[in-house]
């Protein structure tokens, strides 16, 4: 190692095997406690959020029907944007995680829900629920590290294409749902021969069919129904989708790529225990501080640490869980990465800009056995 670069001490070097086992036991116990307490109040919560979301969408689309009047356009676009954010973040993402499957409600179930996004639900569930949440922040296994397009960690080898990543990351933010839809088809794996082009093209076909329905709904059907307000309605729908995309991109990147979010090598998976899995989730995630409205609008992914620990627990419980997780981290000397939306966003963009350039040297792999 270059003598000018100090070796990073393992962030878990101070933990004994007993400590790691106890962390796993405590978090398992917390999960069991929350699961046992789920009931009517939780069911009322998700039903209420869905009712509010649908009301906002109906109001927004109705106002856009008369959006030739500027106040109606502004109000309609705002209502529709908030509705789309709620549907995407607090409802769609969390329903597809199976967080509400315990209710056995066929209308709100991970096997039946199809969300307002360009990615088909089944394809997203595989790439996100299975791959990302199993291999969280394992370089070479978790494709969500940079989404196969961005360099967000020094451990990723540098390539000249990354010089342009600040520009294409800004474009990605505006068209995030479309970028994720293409990403979920795993085209880079087909290029490397890890999957057949037949499979990749079949998945792209599914994306095209789903995306086609999205385009017809927002950019053809509803604008045509608006008659004289065709153009304002079309622009309002586009603005609402862009707002939803930028917000989703911001929240997700703040939970995964700010300063302090750890990346691990594949050897960490060798014999990984339950406690070690939990620690990997803790160290590879980051939260956003804020009040109840911010948590709702982020789909409670402002509690990304708690979400990575318990991805199938209902999101409305994360605020209750968070203080206990934070106290556990303090007790065992583990970093609980949290900060304001502004601070975490600035940190993400600083890393996107810095890592567009060659260097810095990769950090030493965290030694979980220390």
DSSP string, 121-174: HHHHIIIIIIIIHHSTTBTTT-TTTGGGT---STTSPP-GGGGGHHHHHHHHHH
Domain assignment present for 198: yes
**For range 146-156, the mean pLDDT:** 92
Q: What is the pLDDT of residue 288?
A: 98
Q: Encode pLDDT of 44-65 as tens digits.
A: 999 999 999 999 999 999 999 9
**For range 296-324, the mean pLDDT:** 98
**For range 205-230, the mean pLDDT:** 95
Domain assignment present for 361: no
Q: pLDDT tier at 74 (50, 70, 90 boundaries)? A: very high
Domain range enclosing 159 = 17-354
**For range 169-184, the mean pLDDT:** 94
* Residue 292 pLDDT greater than 70, yes or no: yes
Domain assignment present for 365: no
CA-derived radius of gyration, the chain:
21
Distances (CA, A) of 199 to 185, 189, 202: 9, 11, 5
**For range 272-279, the mean pLDDT:** 96
Domain assignment present for 43: yes
Q: What is the pLDDT of residue 364?
A: 54
Other Cβ atoms closer than 10 A to 319: 15
* Residue 117 pLDDT greater than 50, yes or no: yes
* Residue 353 pLDDT greater than 70, yes or no: yes
Averaged pLDDT of the chain: 92
Distance between CA 75 and CA 67 in Å, rounded? 9
**For range 206-217, the mean pLDDT:** 93
In the chain, % of residues over pLDDT 90: 85
* Residue 5 pLDDT greater than 70, yes or no: no
Where are any strands of DSSP class E within the chain?
A: 287-288, 338-339
Does residue 237 contact residue 64 with C-beta atoms inside 8 Å?
A: yes
**For range 334-344, the mean pLDDT:** 97
Domain assignment present for 10: no
Direct distance between the N- and C-terminal alpha carbons of the chain, in angstroms, rounded to an integer: 20
**For the purposes of burial, counting CB atoms within 10 Å of the CB of 194, is it exposed (0-12), middle (13-18) or buried (19 or more)?**
exposed
Distance between CA 329 and CA 30 in Å, rounded? 14
* Residue 282 pLDDT greater than 90, yes or no: yes
Q: pLDDT tier at 7 (50, 70, 90 boundaries)? A: very low
CA-wise closest residue to 254 among 182, 335, 173: 173
* Residue 204 pLDDT greater than 80, yes or no: yes
Domain assignment present for 360: no
CA-wise closest residue to 257 among 358, 339, 320: 339
What is the count of structural domains for the chain? 1
Q: What is the pLDDT of residue 3?
A: 36
Other Cβ atoms closer than 10 A to 216: 12
Judged by average pLDDT, the poorest of 149-163, 190-204, 259-273, 334-348 is 190-204
* Residue 367 pLDDT greater than 70, yes or no: no
**For the purposes of burial, counting CB atoms within 10 Å of the CB of 104, is it exposed (0-12), middle (13-18) or buried (19 or more)?**
exposed
Match 């999960």 to its residue by tokens: 31
**For range 194-206, the mean pLDDT:** 86
Q: What is the pLDDT of residue 8?
A: 40
Domain assignment present for 156: yes
More confident residue, 5 or 292: 292
Domain assignment present for 7: no
């Amino acid at each position: 190692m270059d003598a000018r670069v100090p070796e990073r001490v393992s962030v878990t070097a101070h933990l004994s095997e007993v400590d790691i086992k106890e962390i796993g036991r405590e978090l398992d116990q917390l999960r069991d406690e929350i699961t046992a307490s789920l009931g009517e109040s939780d069911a009322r919560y998700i039903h209420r959020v869905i009712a509010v979301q649908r009301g906002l969408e109906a109001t927004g689309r109705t106002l856009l029907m008369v959006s030739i009047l500027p106040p109606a356009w502004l109000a309609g676009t705002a209502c529709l944007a908030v509705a789309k954010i709620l549907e995407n973040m607090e409802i769609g993402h969390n329903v597809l995680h199976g967080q509400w499957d315990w209710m056995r409600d066929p209308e709100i179930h991970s096997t039946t829900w199809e969300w307002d996004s360009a990615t088909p639900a089944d394809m997203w569930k595989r790439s996100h629920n299975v791959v990302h949440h199993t291999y969280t922040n394992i370089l070479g296994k978790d494709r969500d590290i940079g989404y196969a397009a961005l360099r967000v960690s020094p451990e990723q080898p540098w390539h000249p294409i990354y010089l342009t990543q600040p520009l294409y990351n800004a474009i990605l933010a505006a068209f995030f749902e479309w970028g994720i839809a293409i990403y979920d088809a795993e085209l880079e794996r087909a290029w490397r021969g890890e999957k057949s082009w037949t499979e990749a093209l079949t998945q792209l076909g599914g994306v095209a069919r789903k995306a086609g329905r999205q385009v017809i709904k927002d950019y053809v059907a509803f604008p045509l129904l608006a008659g004289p307000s065709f153009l304002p309605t079309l622009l309002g729908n586009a603005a609402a989708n862009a707002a939803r995309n930028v917000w989703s991109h911001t929240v997700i990147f703040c939970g995964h790529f700010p300063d302090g979010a750890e990346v691990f090598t594949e050897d960490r998976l060798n014999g990984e225990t339950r406690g070690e899995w939990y620690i990997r989730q803790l160290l590879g995630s980051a939260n956003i501080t804020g009040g109840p409205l911010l948590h709702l609008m982020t789909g409670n992914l402002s509690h990304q640490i708690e979400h990575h620990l318990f991805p199938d627990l209902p999101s409305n419980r994360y605020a209750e869980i968070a203080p206990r997780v934070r106290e556990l981290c303090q007790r065992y000397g583990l970093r609980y990465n949290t900060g304001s939306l502004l601070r975490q966003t600035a940190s993400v963009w600083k890393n996107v800009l810095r890592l567009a350039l060659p260097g810095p040297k990769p950090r030493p792999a965290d030694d979980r056995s220390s």
